[in-house]
Structure 1
Amino acid sequence: MRLSSAAFAADASIPQRYTCDGPGVSPPLAWTRPPAGTRSLALVVTDPDAPDPKAPRMTWVHWVIYDLPPHAGALPTGAATPPEARDGLNSWKRAGYGGPCPPIGRHRYFFRLYALDTTLKFPAPPDRARLLAAMHGHVLAEATLMGTYRRVR
C-alpha cells in the first residue's frame, strides 16, 4: 500500500493552500489498494516538531479519520469525512483537518494511512492516542507520506 498526494511530492514542501497561510483545506490524498483482509482504513496526520524543530516537545495532531472504507482509494482536496467514516479529534480538540501552522522553523508533517483488519467503534470521537491503542494488533499495513512547511512571514 502506498500513499501519495497530487499536491506535493514525498519529502517536499506542502503548498500554502493547505496551511494556515492559505485557505487551510486538506490536500488531496490517494492510495494504492490495501492488502487482502482490510476492513477499514485510518488516517492520522501529525507534526512531531512542535513547537520548534530544534527543540521539539510534543507531537501535534492535525487530522484523525477512522473507518474509512478500504475501497475509497482517495480523499479529494478539502475533503469532508466520507459518510461511512468517522472523525477523531485533532490537537485543537475538534474534528476535521487543521492545516500546518508552525510557530517557528520548517516542520515535518506525516500523513499515515493504516489498513486495519477490523472496524473501530468509540462512544465519543477518539484522540490519536485512543485510536492508536484501539488499532493495536489490527494493523495489516501502513503507508506514510511526509511533507514539510515553513510559515510565510
Structure 2
Amino acid sequence: MPAPLPHEFLPSVPALVVESDDIQDGERLPDLHVFNDWGMTGGNQSPHLRWSGAPEGTRSYAVTCFDPDAPTGSGFWHWVLFDLPASVTELPTGAGSAPDFKGLPEGAVHARTDYGTKAYGGAAPPPGDPHRYVFTVHALGVDKLGVDSDTSPAVVGFNINANLLARGFVVAHFGV
C-alpha cells in the first residue's frame, strides 16, 4: 500500500484546479524535471503550473512538491515556495530553478528543500518502485506566511495549513 499523500492527513478544503503544460496527473515525470545529480541526468527544471478557482479572500499562494514514497520515514520535500502574490496564477517552466528563477514573481520566497537548497530539486528516487511527486498549490488567507527562507519545510507546511483556504495538486511519478 503506498504512503498517504500529505493532504490525506489534513481537513478537507475547497479544491483549486491545477494544470500543467509539462506534467500530467498520473503520468511519468518528464526528464526535464528530474534531478541532475545523485546518479540522475535530468534537466532539474521546475514544471509549468497554472491554477484557478481560488476562493474569495485569497491573499497569496504557496507551491510545494513532495515525495511521500522516499525511504526516509518522513518523505522528501523537492520544492517549497511561498509568498506568491494573489495576482499570480501561473508559473513558467523553470521559475523555481536556480540560478535564474526566470518568471518567479518578486517577493516569492524559496525555503530550504530536503536537498538543502533554496530552489526546485527534481526527482531522484533510488532504484525500485516509482515514486509519486505531488505538486500542490495552496491558496492562503495571508499576504505573507511570516517565515523566512531558512525555515524548515515542516514549519513552512504548518504555516501553510494554518492559513489554508483551498488546495489543488497534480501527481506525477518517476522511477529508475
TM-score normalised over the length of structure 1? 0.89
Q: Distance in 1 between matches of 2:150 and 2:168?
A: 23
Could you say if the C-alpha distance between residues 77 and 32 of structure 1 is closer, same or farther in structure 2, counting changes exceeding 3 Å?
same
The answer to which of 123-132 and 26-35 deviates more is 123-132
- 1:104 aligned to which of 127, 138, 158: 127
Give the total of aligned pairs. Answer: 147
Classify 1:4/1:123 alpha carbon distance in 2 versus 1 (closer, same or farther; 3 Å).
closer
Does residue 122 (structure 1) correspond to residue 128 (structure 2)? The answer is no
Q: Which residue of 1 aligns with 2:6?
A: none
**8 A contact 2:111–2:152 mirrored in 1:** yes
> How far apart are 1:123 and its partner, in Å?
4.7
Higher strand share: 1
* 1:109 alignment partner, SS class: strand
**Aligned ranges for residues 1-153 of structure 1 at < 5 Å?**
1-20=16-35, 21-51=41-71, 57-79=73-95, 80=101, 81-105=104-128, 106-118=130-142, 119-151=144-176
One-letter amino acid matched to 1:43 = V
Q: For residues 83-126 of structure 1, what are the alpha-carbon distances to aligned partners after superposition, in whole Å with 9 as ceiling and x for unaligned?
A: 12111110012100000011122100001111110121225532
* Letter of the 1:101 counterpart: A
**Contact 1:44–1:128, Cα closer than 8 Å, also in 2:** no
Q: Kindly tell me: are residues 12 and 123 of structure 1, through their superposed partners in 2, closer, same or farther at Cα, counting changes over 3 Å? A: closer
Per-residue deviation at 1:69? 1.1
RMSD: 1.5
Gaps of 5+ in 1: none
8 Å CA contact 1:10–1:146 kept in 2: the answer is yes
Distance 2:65 2:51 in 1: 15
Contact between 2:113 and 2:119, CA under 8 Å: does it hold in 1?
A: yes
> Aligned equivalents of 2:125 and 2:62: distance in 1?
24
Report which stretch shifted further, 70-79 or 124-133.
124-133
- Unpaired stretches in structure 2, ≥5 consecutive residues: 1-15, 36-40, 96-100
TM-score by length of 2: 0.78
Identity of aligned residues (%): 32
